[in-house]
Chain A
């Protein structure tokens, strides 16, 4: 039986195509599902469900234009219509991945950090300290002790951030719980594998404790601001032509279509889903 993955689309979501492409490369059977097909829309009944899926991905974008807070209206729409399905999905051990706008939606939906199994808005992704949208590459470093199933084996990863609201914030109790349970899966690094220490631009948004992504205590719900699907192939890296040239001098020819290190997260997702089939 193959792993089935569903990527949300519509209403301003815009990374659905490449996220679906990358999941397919990782071996999943992927469907792009319009939000209206899941939730229904005025005059239309829902025609798709989470019940037959193993992985649900909230892709990046600007759902509802990000007016009224990034990811907020998307989260509300899903909470209003998909709450029960999502509970069943999680109870079955389904995997949820939220990237960028998807992470913002998961936090507002209450699926992250989901401490003690409670769906609450305990954390937020606020406007970047620099005041602007930023597209820049960052280093991610990973907590090897985290329960997150998506990041197994990962230590460092280069990927871009592309957001205006990515500053992770939460109250002291939530932060204490996140840290104690190893839920701060990934942090912005300083380029040398150490935490950025809040310094811009290594930490591009001012996130507390350099947090770039968190998971729930089960490790099966994961959200992050940077875009791993934006480094699924070698030729997405900003200096790939130099990497290739240095390999050439050692007699190796790198294919620009070769897999990039961002794929690890998707391979892990498919492997984890497969393990619980």
Chain B
């Protein structure tokens, strides 16, 4: 019997959700809502009788102090004079976390298990008092604020048409596929036929791969072996497997491709074979061989490095751009929850210790011609909510994050998510960073169930965004289910029950079992054993579904009973799907029918390398010049405007929604200073509470330098990453890097991608910088990912469809152990009278900087980085921190020294008096250059005068100029030639710094 329970806050209590709706309706859509109340709706599709229903209504679902509830419409009691009722619920098949926990709560309260046909569906009913709101306005409220048609549906009901007996009625989003699963057998007699099949099934096979695929299935040996198990040509399961594994997302075809690179200025050409191998793998292997602290890199789900004598840390990061661009909340929550499974599936499993985020979106107040699917404001709200719920409910501190606005991200937003885990160096007597599925081990799937959701996720993210992009891969993450699984798997790990573990991320079982079967040299799996969310899935769908919150684990048969008992204790579903067997074959059945029988390593060889043309035009030849600017007499206005600019102003409202202190590990938080509103240079955590070793983490985006030269961009990012972790106490000699590339399409096409060759050259140059700088600075790349196709085709207000390519973007993440928390430092001046030093030389390098960006200019001279010099300086500063010589360390980045000093004054609440003439800079460097140049390799530090001699002795071989003092006054005063060029009260700066987003909570 179906019934609908409505629950609402008592009318005399304020309704924060309703107030939020009202405020957003006004601010975002200019729609007049006078009052709003939000009711929770639970629709029961169960066999419960009326008494049982009323029992759970009272005992489980209604708070007697704050709420009213009823199986009849509540509107009459909550808001009798409403004008509109807007119902919003999930579409069939979308993960309903609230519905699932409702079943758990009822099962316990009633002492009764619920059958597979019983379910509870959660939805919301919004009651509005809005006499001036039209039906079109009410529809817009649903479509543009409350719901996303990709995952939700809604009903708009006016007061006049309201059925006071039945309310919104009974809406049951049960999935009924009503079909029998089948295995399709395919004979593709030509490449053309195979390509047609690929298009029809949305496989996104690369035309160059087709001959290799056909050659494998036509090989007489293969045909004979397959005939013995009843197979001839490929099945749909096998082709989907190939499609997943060969996608750019999983296989990194772009990075492993071959590039014909030509410098159009010099005419010189060079063949670049495999960027991944030459610029990432080889340098990292070389460095790893020299550095004992690099534990495990380049093969597992996350890189592993040493934290201290007993513990290692695992770090990884990825992007979730395509799904987030369509459904921001779902994309971001599956992104953050998904990346947490990588450290959990690294080695024998690591305990999650930190999360990181980075959002690149269009301007929040965008009011231009383009009509992206989601306005950047709405998109950003969804991203924040997604990372908030995903991180907070996982119990993992969201330690740091970055937000960048740029119109070029209107085509596709970027959503970076990163994760850090910690693991004892040994668990149950084995090195924790190694894993292998053994012959005879059981293949076990843990966590969530398999549904049709997430199918073709990786292939869709390997394509640009257009109207035809399948939306089916957008999901809602379930941190609760995953948190239980995390706790369970770590307990199983510590008991020595796990031989191999990996996550079911992109590609689902096809990726996790395909990968683990390579370590065991084969596996036999029955797809019919996989627990499903609903019946009727084809075997190929079970094989490639990306339904979230699942891990694949190899367990020895003897350990199965204990493993399953722990699984039950933690409320986690675990299922044996098959067995690892050293047969050399991956054999999949559906019941008794064989649906896949291939050599385990057939995906590893025989496929052709992708080829790209890359053409580089140096910046001056592209017409870039330095803008002609005469310095102003005073710079107050420029500094204030930059402080208020979207990319430099306070983002406190975001970080405050993310729990960055759970686990008790917080040391350096996302904000510093007495008002806790100035972003810190890097985060530091204490991942082991019983140790003294911290972990410093920093993220860097310097995308605008790439408008001049992506080589300079990447070099500057690595330089800054190293300085950031050093600034907070991290060891520069044990700094690891992580590269996350997000690039527009680089395959040249005269019509669709006319500048593809230039973008390809930008990628090559970025990778060269990565190689050169990492080798010079001794920074191994512990982890990295690439996401291509950051392009969107979106309509403008005239209906004209335009391609909007994102700027080449690489987020660089640096991590370093802080061997003793006593070495930590923060950026704010702490004691008046301290001497302010600038370390490093300031050069004429305003190109791509925040000042030019603010003035709508690009410029020509982007900062050039000298990683050897920066590394040496960082080692010296690190020594200074160990000796307690430094009272503050700040890093001039966007906006140069002017913004660094402004942030210091804001954070410390103390004044600064600084002399630009004292800088180490070329004599002819003008006021703007001295204030705003973004030269890398620099730090600003404060030193107790009593320690100045020791400090200067330590820095004797470096450029270290005393440029001023910390003062008791409440102003930032900058002079040159005896004249004040800036004089700014801290209060005034704070108002500018916080005004743009200060009203957001």
A-side interface residues toward B, CB under 8 Å? 9-15, 17-18, 21-22, 34, 36-37, 41-44, 60-62, 64-69, 72-73, 76-77, 80, 108, 121-124, 126-137, 160, 162, 169-171, 206, 227, 229-230, 232, 235-236, 238-239, 241-242, 245-246, 248-249, 253, 255-257
Contact = CB atoms under 8 A, between A and B. Distances in A.
A62 B66 contact: no
Interface string B463-498: 000000000000000011001100100000000000
Of the candidates B20, B388, B822, the one having the most CB atoms from chain A within 10 angstroms of its own CB is B822
B689 A129 contact: no
A174 to B, nearest CB: 8
Nearest to B105: A73
Contacts of A245: 830-831, 887
B101 A127 contact: no
A249 B944 contact: yes
Contact of B662 (A10, A15, A77): A15
A265 to B, nearest CB: 14
Interface pairs A-B: 8 shortest CB-CB: A14-B395, A18-B664, A65-B480, A124-B65, A131-B16, A256-B821, A245-B830, A67-B101
Contact of B565 (A44, A68, A135, A206): A44
Contacts of A62: 392-393, 395, 479-480, 483
Interface residues of B, number: 77
Contact of A64 (B19, B20, B105, B661): B105
Contact of A127 (B17, B673, B822): B17
Given A12-B480, A68-B61, A17 B98 contact: no
28 contacts: A11-B571, A14-B394, A14-B395, A17-B663, A22-B664, A42-B113, A44-B569, A61-B395, A62-B483, A64-B101, A65-B98, A65-B101, A66-B393, A67-B101, A73-B60, A129-B16, A131-B17, A132-B657, A133-B392, A162-B392, A169-B66, A235-B821, A236-B666, A238-B671, A239-B673, A241-B672, A245-B830, A246-B831
Contacts of B480: 11-12, 62, 64-65, 67
B830 A235 contact: no
Contacts of A77: 108
B65 A12 contact: no
A170 B10 CA distance: 12
B265 to A, nearest CB: 49
B63 A69 contact: yes
A125 to B, nearest CB: 9
Contacts of A132: 388, 656-657, 1001
A47 to B, nearest CB: 9
Contacts of A249: 831, 944
Interface in B653-711: 655-669, 671-674, 676, 686, 689-690, 692
A241 B825 contact: yes
A68 B102 CA distance: 7
B939 to A, nearest CB: 16
A28 B102 CA distance: 36
B570 interface: yes
Interface in B359-399: 388, 392-395
A51 B825 CA distance: 47
A196 B1001 CA distance: 19
B337 to A, nearest CB: 12
B739 interface: no
A41 B569 contact: yes
Given A124-B63, A257-B821, A10 B660 contact: no
A156 to B, nearest CB: 16
Contacts of B17: 127, 131
Contacts of A18: 662-665, 689
A10 B484 contact: yes
Contact of A121 (B65, B483, B657): B65
Contacts of A108: 63
B950 interface: no
A254 to B, nearest CB: 9
A135 B821 contact: no
A268 to B, nearest CB: 19
B826 interface: yes
B568 interface: yes
Interface string B48-80: 000000000001110111100000000000000
A136 B658 CA distance: 10
A65 to B, nearest CB: 4
A112 B99 CA distance: 28
Contacts of A256: 667, 821-822, 824
Contacts of B14: 129, 206
A250 B479 CA distance: 48
Contacts of A241: 668, 672, 824-826, 830
Contacts of B716: none
B793 interface: no
B804 interface: no
Contacts of B949: none
Q: With a 10 A CB-CB cut-off, give which of A36, A43, A249 has the most chain B CB atoms.
A: A249
Most A CB atoms within 10 A — which of B9, B569, B672, B676?
Answer: B569
Q: Which of A66, A68, A206 has the most CB of B within 10 A?
A: A68
A242 B122 CA distance: 48
Interface string B99-135: 0011011001101010000000010000000000000
A109 to B, nearest CB: 12
Contacts of A133: 388, 392, 657, 659
B13 interface: yes
A24 B689 CA distance: 12
A73 B61 CA distance: 9
Nearest to A204: B656
Contacts of A230: 661, 664, 666
Interface in B13-30: 13-14, 16-17, 19-20
B66 A21 contact: no
A241 B104 CA distance: 46
Contact of A76 (B109, B664, B690, B821): B109
Which of B66, B665, B672, B824 has most A Cβ within 10 Å? B66
B60 A72 contact: yes
A22 to B, nearest CB: 7
Given A10-B487, A73-B60, A236-B667, A170 B65 contact: yes
A7 B487 CA distance: 15
Given A64-B480, A68-B101, A129-B14, A242 B828 contact: yes
A76 B830 contact: no
Given A10-B487, A17-B689, A68-B102, A135 B568 contact: no
B97 interface: yes
A235 B822 CA distance: 9
B93 interface: no
Contacts of A37: 569
B667 A235 contact: yes
B536 interface: no
Given A73-B108, A162-B392, A238-B671, 8 more contacts: A12-B393, A14-B662, A15-B663, A43-B568, A72-B63, A108-B63, A135-B656, A239-B676
B16 A124 contact: no
B446 to A, nearest CB: 15
B884 interface: yes
A65 B825 CA distance: 36
Interface in B851-907: 884, 887
A204 B718 CA distance: 39
Given A12-B484, A65-B480, A21 B664 contact: yes
A236 B664 contact: yes
B884 A248 contact: yes
A206 B15 CA distance: 12
A76 B108 contact: yes
A9 B98 contact: no
A135 B652 CA distance: 11
Q: Which of A18, A134, A241, A257 is packed against the most chain B CB atoms within 10 Å? A: A241
Given A65-B101, A256-B821, A239 B674 contact: yes
Residue among B59, B571, B673 with most chain A CB within 10 A: B571
